[in-house]
Amino acid sequence: MTRPYGLLAELTYACPLHCPYCSNPLNLGDYRDELTTEQWQRVLTEARELGVLQLHLSGGEPLQRRDVVEIVRHGSRLGLYTNLITSAVGLSPRRAEQLREAGLDHVQMSIQAHEATASDRIAGTPSFERKVSAARLVKELGWPLTLNVVLHRHNIDHVGDVLRLAEELRADRIELANTQYYGWALLNRGALLPSRAQVDRAEAVVRAARDRLRGQVEITYVLPDYYEQYPKPCMDGWARRQLTVVPNGDALPCPAAQVLPLPRANVREHSVEWIWTRSPLFQRFRGTDWMPEPCRSCPRREIDFGGCRCQAFLLTGDAARTDPVCVLSPDHGIVVDAVRAAGEGDALVPRPNPRRVTSGRERSRTARS
């Protein structure tokens, strides 16, 4: 495949939640100068011309952009399948009706836990009841509903309760995705990484729920990278199928790639087509020629593509090294030590996310659901 099929449009990093596993960048001040409505519309048009079929609107909280309805309408007119990835805080009946009229196809909503006390504590703000109300509104309006639950040490033991909530809310799909350790999540890894016993128990619960809910709720369960033998293929390979555009216009091969010390590519300066086909950033780890050993001679090199470049950089300081998750990586001991620590004693209390909820014009420039 030489063309992308998916665009993740991170409209803003403003967010009413303060989740300790947030993977947004730590330096939010660099993203205050957000693309305008017209610039986003141009990006969507160029992405469609390049071959993109799916538009995923995210953040932060995309509902904090006043023009989100206009952006959805433009994507729909282009023939894109439009998916809103949201905390659902701010999804009022009026806004929901506007989005439906604009052509929104799907809603993907985050849930932090199965009940208010735990959910509000993890989210850093009272939000659970609004999420439940929003989920019911989504179903009333006839949209498909996906629930996204980021799993970690503090909620993974209640995965059965979360699945029962999904059943109660008539979700069409639920994604139980263990935390990926970037951004705030990496800073809080010691408090978030579940033990192997927790992961094994959760897997058994999910397996039983799949049997019970087959044909009713589609369940996706994503193991933590740290408990896998081999890494996952990051985004199905660097710059192979999807691209991300973040609030300030930087285009990335994956949502976390802003951490890498690589040349930037920005839609304010270049077309989406040029960025995808010619930019040094998108070329850097595309394919397999860049690979060191043991990846270069590994039979899995075109399956996992050496794993996650961002994870390799964050754990070793070198984005070109084999992902330390891999058992064949010379740096695998880093992951082994983290897993061992997760099984020893009580976790540390998560650091509070210092982002604050602002108001008015400033709110549209601040943090991810």
Q: Which residues are part of a known binding site? A: 15, 19, 22
Q: Which residues are part of a known binding site for [4Fe-4S] cluster? A: 15, 19, 22
Buried residues in 244-276 as b, exposed as e (16+ CB within 10 A): bbbbbbbbbbbbbbbbbebeebebeebebeebb
d(CA 324, CA 313): 10
